[in-house]
Every structure is written in structure tokens, then in C-alpha cells.
A = this chain, B = another copy of it.
């Protein structure tokens, strides 16, 4: 039911007939197969822009045809396939129906049986609702469209269009050599010495996580990570049978003493950490902690997966050297991305690590999608080589600084007495601690009704009942003002 079809009020056909015809066509083409659950009536009204009685009439017509059925406990399900459906005029019956087919269930079983976990329901809602206009997105982890490079990206494309382009063939397993060289130079500026043979280009840092989950960890192994963490909100590792062991943080980041005990107890195979401007808490691990962490994990022989997605986005002062820059043993894998600072839509990230490791991951990438888009890789190489990236970062930092400061002001104004919050030195996020816990799904739903899209704390720690990940990167200043006011009211009112 995604898509934009709506009945036409100007048509001579009544709205309910238009709806039942549209649904009938979906069912008889197989696009809505038996077993598919229709959206709840309230949702259908919203999507179709009609009132409840129209939807009820249309569904009644389809029920009478034996195509759908109301289920006890609510919900309407498609029950017949095209064989029993009345075909829309003009379609011929190409397949002859055999007598009494032996049925093997329907797509519903398939959709539920695959090994990859679905996204959390709230994440699914967020992924869908982000494309509905009119909502204020208070938690979105990407820069607002107006913070993305517009004219500069046009210049990059114009440059590409005037060059004799290399044909857009498949790229080498590790990725486009010019891009790897550009990333290597960029990493050097952050203190990481990595030559192009140690760099694998991925389709965003997220794919890097999936490759590592599939390529380096056996089923049943476990990894240490900060709790809460972004990693809890995706299922790359859990779908690969990897368990999580969450570690507490203080204002300086992970606490090394607690790490050792948990590493031994859980027989951890790896530590995942976001040392700079942690997602979702915004915490910056300080230089002392980084050294301690390297030492402690060194004596455990514990590899580290360092997520550097936000490290360039410092707002007050550059962060300490990345863990990878402190690594002389090849024990750290480092993830980077252009999604947070430049353009999420390029889908360009990278993994830096020992050559045998990045080659293993490249081999899986070749089996997954045959490499990242060549066009994106060419554009990314021009973006980095042309100096656009550094220039854009300057502007982006100052815009983010303004928005961070505005959000902090607004929180002070509206949420004092309702919550406390972190003051991030970079990245996108403020971690809001509600003074009174509340059921996250209830808050999410109430917020949605008020026009707010929230990222509740349970996405990053299943048991969390008292936090929100706020982002100052996406909503406009005006939306921030309105959004934080609405949020304060909600926190006050939701029982």
C-alpha cells in the first residue's frame, strides 16, 4: 500500500468503487497475494484521503467477492488468489488453472521465515514515515537537505560529464583506485597511516558492518559494545548469530576496567566502539581513555572495530587521535563514511584494516553486490581530490554549531525540570534523559499524532524507558523551535 494512488473525487465513479477496483486489480495481478494483511482502516482512510464509511463500503464489496476477510482480533487479510478473482475487463486468463492444486502455503510464510531479522517495528515506521511530508523529524541521523552540498555536487558532476569518463564497468574488489588513494590521503590528515591496499570501499559504513558480521565472526560469538549504541538499532550482527555484550560509559567514554571483566566473561571476539561523538549519546572519548582502551584490549588481544562516522564533525575542537592511529599491531578495523558530512545518497564508506582482512571482506562484497556504484566512486574521488570536502566541512560545522546551540537553548527553555541532556562537542546528537520514564512506543505514537517523528531510546538499548536521541542535524531552526515546544508538552502530558 505504499505509493501515491488516491481515488479521484472528480471521477463519475463513486470513491468506494474506485477503491474496490484498485484493490481488485492489485489482488488479481498477484501484487497483493493471499495472506497479505491490509493496513488498518484508520490508516487506509489516511492514505486514500477518504472517510471511514467509504473504506468500509469498498472493503465490504471485496469481502462479498470472497477476496478479503476480516480477521478476529482486527485486521483484514487477502484470502483468494487470482484464480477465484473476477478479472478486470480486458485481461485474459493466460494460465489454465489445474484442478485442486496442492498448495504450499503462501508468501506470508516466506516473508516470516528468512534468516535476516526484520527491522524493529519503530525503525520500520521511521523508515516509512521519513518520506511523509509535514512531520518534524527530531531524531534523524543525517544532515538536512539544505546542509548537503548542492552547487558543489553539481560542479563535481559537471566536471565528470566533461571528462572522458572511464566506462562504468565493475570496479576492482577493493574499489576504485583513485578513490582509495584519496581516502588514504584524507585518513593521513586524521593521523591514520593506511595505504590504498588496506582500504576497502563499501556502500556506506553500514555495509561495512554487515560485511564484518558475515565475514569475520562465527555464529555464537559475541562482541562488546557501548550500551546504548547505534549497533543495537540494526540487525546485521544479530542476524549473523552474533551476541551483544553491552558496556557502560561515563562522560569520558567506555570504562576500561569494566571492559576487561566483561571481555573475559563473554569470551568476546571483538569490541565495537564509536569513540568520537558517540551515537546516540554524543559522548567523546578523551585521549587518556583511548590510550587505556588500546592497552587493555591489547593485553587481551582483542580486536577493535572503530566506527569513525562522526569524527570529522567536531564542533568545538578536533577530537583526539582515532584508535586506528594508535594501532601498531593491525588490531583495529576503522570504519569511515561520506554519509554524515557530505552526501548520504552517494553511499560511500570505507573499512581500513590489515590487508588479509580487507581482502576477505572485499571477497564477500563481490558476492553481495559486486562493488559500490562506479559513478558514486568517481564522484566521491572528485569530491575529495577537488578539495570540496574540506571546504564543505567548514560550512557544515558552523551550521551544525548554530543548530546545536539553538537546540540546547530550546531545551533549557522548555524542558528544564522535565529532562536533563548531554552537551555534545560534535556529531549530531543530544541524549535526552527524561526525569520520569515512559513507555517508548506510547511516546512515539503520541508524538506522531502531534506531528513529531522521534527516535526513542529503546532503539539503542532495548530496556531503555527514559531517553530520546535528539538530532539537531535535520530539522530546520523553525522546526526545532516548534518541535521542542511540542515535545515538552508531550513529556508533560503522556501519562
Residues of chain A whose beta carbon lies under 8 Å from any beta carbon of chain B: 1-3, 26, 28-33, 35-37, 81-83, 91, 93-98, 101-105, 107-108, 110-111, 113-116, 118-119, 124, 127-128, 130-131, 142, 145-146, 148, 150, 153-155, 157-158, 160-162, 164-174, 193-198, 202-204, 206-207, 210, 214-219, 221, 234-236, 239-241, 269, 291, 294-295, 298-303, 326-331, 339, 343-348, 354-357, 359-360, 363-364, 366-376, 379
Contacts and interface: CB of A to CB of B under 8 A. Distances in A.
B95 A295 contact: yes
B345 A375 contact: yes
A298 B295 CA distance: 62
Contacts of A344: 168-170, 370, 374
B101 A370 contact: no
A369 B210 contact: yes
Given A3-B196, A32-B356, A210-B369, 18 more contacts: A29-B193, A29-B330, A30-B331, A33-B330, A94-B291, A95-B328, A98-B295, A116-B214, A118-B363, A150-B165, A167-B343, A168-B343, A206-B368, A235-B367, A345-B375, A347-B370, A372-B373, A375-B375
A360 B118 contact: yes
Contacts of A369: 202-204, 206-207, 210, 347, 369
A172 B131 contact: yes
Nearest to A29: B193
Contacts of A146: 167
Contact of A127 (B93, B173, B194): B173
Contacts of A345: 167-171, 373-375
Nearest to A119: B363
Nearest to A349: B369
A116 to B, nearest CB: 4
A409 B437 CA distance: 78
A214 B115 contact: yes
Contacts of A363: 118-119, 124, 127
B370 A298 contact: no
Contact of A30 (B128, B202, B330): B330
A96 B295 contact: yes
Contacts of A93: 328
Given A98-B299, A214-B116, A373 B375 contact: yes
Interface of A is mostly: loop
A201 to B, nearest CB: 12
Contacts of A294: 95
B343 A95 contact: no
A164 B1 CA distance: 30
A361 to B, nearest CB: 9
Given A295-B96, A345-B168, A368-B210, A111 B356 contact: yes
A459 to B, nearest CB: 13
Contact of A114 (B158, B215, B355): B215
B299 A355 contact: no
B302 A241 contact: no
A46 B96 CA distance: 62
Q: For A2, A130, A331, A372, which residue has the most chain B Cβ atoms within 10 angstroms?
A: A2
Contacts of A164: 150
A307 to B, nearest CB: 15
B95 A216 contact: no
Contacts of A127: 173, 363, 366
A203 B348 CA distance: 13
A239 B139 CA distance: 35
A37 B354 CA distance: 12
Contacts of A198: 31
B194 A31 contact: yes
Nearest to A327: B30
29 contacts: A1-B197, A2-B172, A29-B330, A30-B329, A30-B354, A31-B355, A81-B328, A82-B329, A83-B329, A91-B328, A95-B298, A95-B326, A111-B357, A113-B221, A116-B214, A116-B364, A119-B363, A119-B367, A128-B173, A142-B169, A148-B168, A153-B168, A157-B160, A203-B372, A203-B373, A239-B367, A344-B370, A345-B375, A375-B375
Looking at A216, A236, A339, the one whose CB has the most chain B CB atoms below 10 A away is A216
Nearest to A168: B345
